[in-house]
Amino acid sequence: MSDEAKSEPGSETEETLERLRELLVGPEREDIHELRTELDARQLNVDELGHMLPAALHAADKQQVTQVLAPIVETSIEVSVKKNPKPLTEAIFPLIGPAIRRSIRHSLAELTESLNRTLEHSFSARGLSWRVEAWRSGKPFAEVVLSHSLKFRVEQVFLIHRETGLLLEHAAAPGVAAADPEMVSAMLTALGDFVADSFDATEAPALSQIEFGGRVLEVASGPRALIACEVRGVLNPALRTVFEEAVESLHTDFQEPLQDFAGDTEPFFAARPALEALLLEERPEKKQKGNGAARWVLSVLVVMLVVWAVQAAIASWSIGKRWDKLQAALVAEPGIVLIRGEANGTRLVLVGLLDPLAADPLELVSDAGFEVLDVEATWTSFMSLEPEIVRRRTLKSLALPDGVRASWDGLALKLEGQVPSSWTETVREKWQNGGFSGLEAFDTSKLVDPSWSAGPH
Amino acid sequence: MVIKKKICMLGAYAVGKTSLVRRFVEDRFSERYVTTIGVKITKRELVLDGTHITLMLWDLHGDDAFQTVQMAYLRGSSGLLFVADGTRPETLDQVAVLKTRAVESLGAVPSLLLRNKSDITPATDADMSGFGEALPTSAKSGEGVESAFAELARRMQAG
């Protein structure tokens, strides 16, 4: 359409043109008009929707909205992590640490439990005193053992900006000569980069601990900053957790300064106290004064207890031995039959049968080493037929006069010597009447009446 | 304000980077580190417009047949110093390569090109055109080093 033709106002040309337009693009015009209207309407709708959406979400049934959004959110997270895991990791960082530590604590508690059981059998004097400490303080025994075996001192703490290696703040224990902490921080960072590069480590900080000559450099890292602690001695492993918690709380407390860091370290002066709080130290020799006396008394009591126990044990063992000896003696002694015997501590109870011609049991008791006063003895008289007793009884009963010798062959008695025949007659008659119980044979053939030597009657 | 910045010094092998700055920096680490882990760090403090600035200078190992510069060390740098040997224009080519790689890793950060060994007159047939606006420096005389640091710091503050 030529514009020049339009220049004549209200001309035929214009009318013709208009009619031409109508003919050629009439229907399309209407479409265009409709489309335009719709587009405008749509734009309006989008704006309106934008305004209404938050309100709509707020008013909607949370469950339904969540259900609908869940897959979308999941996919979004996937995409975000794939594209660049950093933002998400940084956001979650303050949560991950504590969660992981909690689960580790549980596993460690179990480990400590089993460790406890294994350690239960250590009976050194130190072990005993640690046991008492564990019982008193409520800590698990293994922990007490660990805490007494280590001694250390945190000498320096560096707060380092991770990306640049610049020193943000620094704290040193009194008396420690801190040699240019700024350069140390930078070199440490360079070392970390070097290690990561050489060993193809991922972006995560490569170094967590450097051990050297009796010292350890513990490094706890976060996404933007890290804490390096120079420790002299052997660090109690539980304290690594303290460093990690410190780095986490520093990330929270100094979130903005860390994010915006462009070289100005002034905002980090405020981190000094937190760093100084990490200058920990432990020495086992340092004992609280209050417990000194108590511990003394306790150990004396324990020693006394042990001594008493040992003495009691020895005493009862020796009594046992003496009792056995006494019992054996009583059994062996002719004319004594022990029916019941007990040793209660040092008291003895003896019940049995006693022949009048037997040895005095109390003699045997004191021979065995018992105090006679501690003996309660009940003896019932009886007549023993033991060979030795029979012999004694027979001889006693015979009341051999001088000049008569007796000789025994088992329970057969043979008399020799000179004695009036009337005596011989009497004893022979007694023998025949059973007056010598237990005597098996009686030979009096060798007895000679002294008056017969003068000649036969 | 206490301003600290990390800057890196790059250049071809044996252009004299290390001896250039030796007199002007606080130094406590051995030269060994440059060849072993590829970097040695020194410190330079200066005052710019009343502000005290601490520059942590990462002296990176020169590029040669055995070691390439670890781009990882560049991370977080606020400025770069490129050093070429005024008596060997070919070292400019290496600087160009290094600059490209650095920009790839870091993006565009303020940088400065130094033409070292300025105390030695170059051979007459040497093509010095590539040096352009490079600042002349000399480790022998100490010329140009302090102003190089100041200039870089200025560019970093501005940029």
- CATH (domain of B137): 3.40.50.300
Q: Under 8 Å CB-to-CB from B38, ≥6 apart: which residues?
A: A194, B60, B61, B67, B69, B70, B73
Output the pLDDT for position A33.
Answer: 87
Which of A127-131, A263-267, A298-302, B108-112 bottoms out in mean pLDDT, i.e. has the lowest? Answer: A127-131
- Decide if B58 and A190 are in contact by the 8 Å CB cutoff: yes
Nearest to A264 among B2, B38, B75 (CB): B2
Q: How confident is the model at residue A228 (pLDDT cuts 50, 70, 90)?
A: very high
| Closest residue in B to A160 (Cα–Cα) | B4
Conformation bin of residue B127: beta by default, left when phi > 0, alpha when psi is -120 to 50: beta
- Decide if B77 and A193 are in contact by the 8 Å CB cutoff: no
Question: Mind telling me how many Å the CA of A197 is from chain B's nearest CA?
Answer: 8
- Decide if B2 and A266 are in contact by the 8 Å CB cutoff: yes
Q: How many CB atoms lie within 10 A of CB B45?
A: 13
Q: What percentage of chain A reaches a pLDDT higher than 90?
A: 15
Tell me the C-alpha distance between A10 and A16, whole Å: 10
Q: How confident is the model at residue A227 (pLDDT cuts 50, 70, 90)?
A: very high
Q: How confident is the model at residue A170 (pLDDT cuts 50, 70, 90)?
A: very high
pLDDT at A281 over 90: no
Helix (H) or strand (E) holding A30: helix A12-59
Output the pLDDT for position B142.
Answer: 79
So what's the ipTM on this one? Answer: 0.81
Substitution target from B56, B57, B77, B106 for chain A, most A beta carbons within 10 A: B56
Question: Mind telling me how many Å the CA of B155 is from chain A's nearest CA?
Answer: 14
Local structure of residue A4 (DSSP, 8 states):
G
pLDDT at A7 over 70: no
Output the pLDDT for position A161.
Answer: 93
Summary mean pLDDT of chain B: 82
Q: Does A246 touch chain B (CB under 8 A)?
A: no
Give the best-scoring range by mean pLDDT among A80-84, B119-123, B136-140.
A80-84
Local structure of residue B24 (DSSP, 8 states):
T
Q: What is the pLDDT of residues A27-77, one digit of tens each?
A: 788 888 888 888 888 887 888 888 888 888 888 888 888 888 999 999 998
Higher pLDDT, A371 or B131: A371
Question: Mind telling me how many Å the CA of A295 is from chain B's nearest CA?
Answer: 51
Whether the CB-CB separation of A351 and A325 falls below 8 Å is answered with: no
Which of chain A's residues have a Cβ under 8 Å away from the Cβ of B3?
263-265
Whether the CB-CB separation of B70 and A193 falls below 8 Å is answered with: yes
Which of chain A's residues have a Cβ under 8 Å away from the Cβ of B43?
180, 182-183
pLDDT at A449 over 90: no
Which of chain B's residues have a Cβ under 8 Å away from the Cβ of A263?
3-5, 53, 78
pLDDT at A15 over 70: yes
Substitution target from B41, B57, B154 for chain A, most A beta carbons within 10 A: B41
Output the pLDDT for position A53.
Answer: 86
Summary mean pLDDT of chain A: 82
Q: How confident is the model at residue A453 (pLDDT cuts 50, 70, 90)?
A: low
Higher pLDDT, A293 or B47: B47
Question: Using CB atoms within 10 A of its CB, is residue A351 exposed (0-12), middle (13-18) or buried (19+)?
Answer: middle
- Decide if A186 and B77 are in contact by the 8 Å CB cutoff: no
pLDDT at B100 over 50: yes
Q: How confident is the model at residue A286 (pLDDT cuts 50, 70, 90)?
A: very low
Q: What is the pLDDT of residues A301-353, one digit of tens each?
A: 888 999 999 998 888 888 888 888 888 998 889 989 989 888 877 778 889 99
Question: Mind telling me how many Å the CA of A26 is from chain B's nearest CA?
Answer: 57
Helix (H) or strand (E) holding B115: strand B111-116
Range of B93's domain?
2-158
Q: What is the pLDDT of residues A182-216, one digit of tens each?
A: 888 888 888 888 887 777 766 656 688 888 766 78
pLDDT at A271 over 60: yes
Which of A44-58, A119-133, A411-425 bottoms out in mean pLDDT, i.e. has the lowest? Answer: A119-133
Q: What mean pLDDT do residues B13-39 have?
A: 78
Share of chain B residues as helix, strand and coil, in percent rounded to the nearest 5: 30, 30, 40
Handedness of CA A360, A366, A368, A371 (dihedral sign): positive
Higher pLDDT, A108 or A121: A108
Nearest to A264 among B1, B73, B77 (CB): B1
Higher pLDDT, A138 or A225: A225
Say how many CB pairs under 8 Å bridge A and B: 76
Q: How many CB atoms lie within 10 A of CB A179?
A: 9
pLDDT at B6 over 90: yes
Structural domain tally of chain B?
1
Task: Please tell me the pTM assigned to this model.
Answer: 0.50
Output the pLDDT for position A159.
Answer: 95
Output the pLDDT for position A457.
Answer: 46
Q: How confident is the model at residue A5 (pLDDT cuts 50, 70, 90)?
A: very low
- Decide if B29 and A183 are in contact by the 8 Å CB cutoff: yes
Higher pLDDT, B122 or B74: B74
Q: What mean pLDDT do residues B51-57 have?
A: 91
